[in-house]
A and B are shown apart, each in its own frame.
Chain A
Amino acid sequence: MTTLRLPAVLALTLALAACSGGEAPAEGHAAPERTGPTESSAGLPKGVIADGEKVATTAGSGGQACADCHGKDGNTPLDPSYPLLGGQYADYIEHALVAYRDGQREHALMSPQAKGLTDKQIADVAAYFASQPTKLTDLSHM
């Protein structure tokens, strides 16, 4: 009996280890090499919400203010394809704007919008939208 059981137990253990080893949260360690801007928002200054409100409501390099397309609170998009911003994590918004600005992410409307933004403006506008009432939720309640 034991000669059959041990290999089966080993095989099962290896299979379980292989399954858990693929867990997505560890994926970040295997990120591909990046040259140039890293998309990381780690070097940005701390965002100031009041300054961010000004950024959000002032037309910039792209010709529109953020609020024009996303709504003043980030929750009333002009078009169904525009994302809701209200209550999104500030550092995620920063990451997206840095990616649009520096070219890792391309969008006909967002790329020119982000082009002229300074690090401080990105940090501020991200803090502003993050502070707004939210219709967003994570998936922890499923």
Chain B
Amino acid sequence: MRPTMIAACLALALPLAATAQTAPPAEGKSNDKGAELTYTCQGCHGVTGYKNAYPNYHVPRIGGQSQQYLVNALTEYKKGTRKHPTMQAQATSFSDADIAAIAAYLSSLKPNHKK
């Protein structure tokens, strides 16, 4: 293809790609973005029976938890009004739309959930 044709195709394609973001999902619904974002959570929340080193308690089960509660928790960690070094670091990297997608996906999980 000629260079100007390539440039024209890119100029058309990039704005379209940028607008193809997923909207925050409806209550109780999940979407692929939420599933994708929660892979990182498995490191602690996906190891059955895992405990923090200090203070020593189990990392909580979050699958199937209330969607609004999860939104609030991640938002508070992001703002620093709820304290936990790892969770604050995790939440700071998420946008509000990410948090909404994560909460929707996690709240949709069922016990003995298999994918």
A134 to B47, CA, bound (A): 18
A24 to B114, CA, bound (A): 24
B-side contacts of A105, CB under 8 Å: 82-83
B-side contacts of A32, CB under 8 Å: 85
Assess whether A80 is interfacial by the CB under 8 Å rule.
Answer: yes
How many residues of chain B have a CB within 8 Å of chain A? Answer: 47
In chain B, positions 9-39 with a C-beta closer than 8 Å to chain A are 35, 38-39
B interface, by DSSP: helix, strand, loop or mixed?
loop
Task: Please state if A28 and B57 are interface contacts (CB–CB under 8 Å).
Answer: no
Q: Kindly identify which residue among B66, B90, B115 contacts A81, using a CB–CB cutoff of 8 Å.
A: B66
- Given A24-B86, A40-B55, A92-B58, the answer on whether A83 and B69 have CB atoms closer than 8 Å is yes
Q: Kindly identify which residue among A29, A41, A80, A137 contacts B111, using a CB–CB cutoff of 8 Å.
A: A137
A interface, by DSSP: helix, strand, loop or mixed?
loop
A27 to B85, CA, bound (A): 8
Assess whether A135 is interfacial by the CB under 8 Å rule.
Answer: yes
B-side contacts of A18, CB under 8 Å: none
Task: Please state if B48 and A23 are interface contacts (CB–CB under 8 Å).
Answer: no
Please name the residue on chain A nearest to B111 by beta carbon.
Answer: A137
Task: Please state if A29 and B53 are interface contacts (CB–CB under 8 Å).
Answer: yes
Using A27-B86, A142-B35 as known contacts, list a sample of 14 further A-B pairs with CB atoms less than 8 Å apart, ordered by residue number in A: A28-B53, A31-B54, A40-B57, A77-B66, A80-B69, A83-B69, A89-B57, A95-B55, A106-B81, A138-B62, A140-B42, A140-B47, A141-B109, A142-B42
Listed in ascending order, the chain A residues whose CB lies under 8 Å from chain B are: 23-32, 38-42, 77, 80-84, 87-89, 91-92, 94-95, 104-106, 134-142
Mind listing 7 A-B residue pairs with CB under 8 Å?
A24-B44, A42-B55, A80-B68, A136-B61, A136-B63, A138-B45, A139-B45
